[in-house]
A and B are shown apart, each in its own frame.
Chain A
Amino acid sequence: MATQASRAAGRLMISPAVIVLFLWMIVPLGMTIYFSFLRYNLLIPGDHAFAGFENYQFFFTDPNFWPALINTLLLVGGVLLITTVGGILLALLLDQPMFGQGIVRVLVIAPFFVMPTVSALVWKNMFMNPVNGIFGWLANVFGVPPYDFLSQAPLLSIILIVAWQWLPFATLILLTALQSLDSEQLEAAEMDGAGPFSRFFHIMLPHLSRAATVVILIQTIFLLSIFAEILVTTNGGPGNASTNLTYLVYSQSLLQYDVGLGSAGGIVAVILANIVAIFLMRMIGKNLEA
């Protein structure tokens, strides 16, 4: 892309893709913003009067709003913590030469192929159910009363389910990063007197920081909008114990047929996602440079 002509041609070539992407983003966003300022309930036909910031006011003063916000952040933070720490440990394990390495790696990736609703239902009915679940059975074996995960610790249970789904993703990215580490560096560190833990903290972990940044950024985007797992397991309950912002928007716009309120919630969620993104970029984005 050296000459003026080839640069112009380049811009022309990518413009359709850019325009489609831009429309894809701006049309739904514009319509959501527009709806969020209307008094628009599907059960009340007739005019959609302009409502100003009324919808936003309702959304912010909803008693479920602050719990939902905190639940969202706990969900994202909890899953990120489990997947990055667990992913690094699993990657270290899978990097060791062992018998059946190929099969083990495929097995590790498997949860990523299971769709969220299915895996959440499997966890709900086959693992966490106090009567039919394997955890309940295990508790009975040891003579302990079974623990009803989804009603006693609903948010933690959902964090575990989602972390299980995302662990393979983190493991895979971190494993490839680990494999790109120059073995001479580890040998040099060994000659320099670094033990296994020093080698991990001084050589491997800094090397993994860039991959970990990618994992955290990508996962955050998806984890802010976790929905299916909540819908099929707890329905946001008991009460609002496992309601996150996405689920709150759903329950207001679809369960109460209030398009205006739901749109306002959606815009709030967009703003929240951007705030989180800015903080993340500030904190760890510099790892992606250089």
Chain B
Amino acid sequence: MGQIELKGVTKRFGDAEVIPPLDLQINDGEFVVFVGPSGCGKSTLLRLIAGLEDVSGGTINIDGRNATDERPAQRGLAMVFQSYALYPHMSVRKNIAFPLKMAKMSKAEIDAKVDHAAKVLNLSSYIDRRPGQLSGGQRQRVAIGRAIVRSPKAFLFDEPLSNLDAALRVNMRLEISELHNTLKTTMIYVTHDQVEAMTMADKIVVLQAGRIEQVGSPLELYRSPKNRFVAGFIGSPKMNFIGGAEAAKYNAFEIGVRPEHIAVGPTGDWQGRVTVSEHLGSDTFLHVETQHGLINVRAGGEVGVHHGDTVWLTPDRSQMHRFDQQGHAL
């Protein structure tokens, strides 16, 4: 079980309101990702749920029980920190066993659980090493191991992959997703990387300045963003925004078209000159200078367009997003 409910939760540091009243429902077994630009309050929100920060107002319910004033350990949640926060003077085994030791479990029980966790996470071969002797990915696994031995109600991840290199990050992403599929435990994951959010989440919570901009499944957010911020944040490369007269044609203050929804051809709606074309093999990203500004286009891998070429762009009207003056989707 791991159902978490936030009701009117606020957080103030002195006079600064970091999180205005916020409601959020996290269901049992869900993989929820908090995503937003840095400083949007997503880590603070996670720490409020963990109990490492006190809420300034509102209530946090875990499995229907009011946990607002409970200490972190009582909440039955486990956290993986950005710096992993392994205990440097303890071996991998002792690190993983630490929460069990604090729970005063018997030695035999601890050993069994630690060995099981080590096997699940492929840690067995360096179980007696110190954290200082491990690579980044291995440390990450130890941190996850320390979290799973307690069989918590939910896992909290605070940007766990940001200290890893790109290749390892993709691997760990898969491993965490697999872990979620096997454990079926609620996971809350904080990241500023929308790719991580899109690939892992059942439900994405997009935050900006402490406010929830939109909650939904990755594809919901991709297909129908509620506002300009979500539209620009979700999707890579970023959505193109065009305002002015061109937008007025579509009865909007501003229109947004994703790079993958623009066709390149010898004729079309907008004429432009290619400034940069990035050939990735599977795709080609074109940066096209048009009268409406710079437009990013994602074309097929075999498009033979180069710097300086003149091209015509046609947006797919069925995939076009329209926004009003306040940035809300129409």
Contact = CB atoms under 8 A, between A and B. Distances in A.
A105 interface: no
Contacts of B86: 185
A182 interface: yes
Contact of B85 (A188, A193, A202, A206): A188
Contacts of A198: 102
Given A202-B87, A207-B89, A290-B132, A188 B102 contact: no
A187 B73 contact: no
A188 B52 CA distance: 10
Nearest to A184: B85
A202 B81 contact: no
Contacts of A190: 52, 71-73
B98 interface: yes
B98 A192 contact: yes
Given A185-B87, A202-B87, A202-B98, A192 B132 contact: no
A238 to B, nearest CB: 47
Contacts of A192: 73, 98-99, 102, 146, 150
A191 interface: yes
Contacts of A193: 73, 99, 102-103
B81 A188 contact: yes
Sorting the interface of chain B by its residue count into under 10, 10 to 19, 20 to 34 or 35 or more gives 20 to 34
Contact of B72 (A185, A191, A202, A290): A191
A74 interface: no
A191 B87 CA distance: 13
A209 B87 CA distance: 14
A187 B52 contact: yes
A189 B71 CA distance: 12
A190 B78 CA distance: 10
A228 interface: no
Nearest to B158: A184
A206 B102 contact: no
A94 B242 CA distance: 57
B219 to A, nearest CB: 33
Interface in A181-232: 182, 184-185, 187-194, 198, 202-203, 206-207, 209
Contacts of B89: 206-207, 209
Nearest to B79: A191
B266 to A, nearest CB: 57
Contacts of A191: 50, 52, 72-73, 77-79, 99
B102 A194 contact: yes
Given A193-B102, A194-B102, A188 B132 contact: no
B290 interface: no
A184 B81 CA distance: 7
Interface in B60-109: 71-73, 77-79, 81-83, 85-89, 98-99, 102-103
A98 to B, nearest CB: 17
A190 B70 CA distance: 12
Contacts of A189: 87, 98
Contacts of B132: 290
A189 B89 CA distance: 13
Contacts of B88: 207
A81 B102 CA distance: 29
Interface in A5-19: none
15 contacts: A182-B85, A184-B83, A185-B85, A185-B86, A187-B72, A190-B72, A190-B73, A191-B77, A193-B99, A193-B102, A194-B102, A198-B102, A203-B87, A206-B87, A290-B132
Interface of A: 182, 184-185, 187-194, 198, 202-203, 206-207, 209, 290
Interface of B: 50, 52, 71-73, 77-79, 81-83, 85-89, 98-99, 102-103, 132, 146, 150
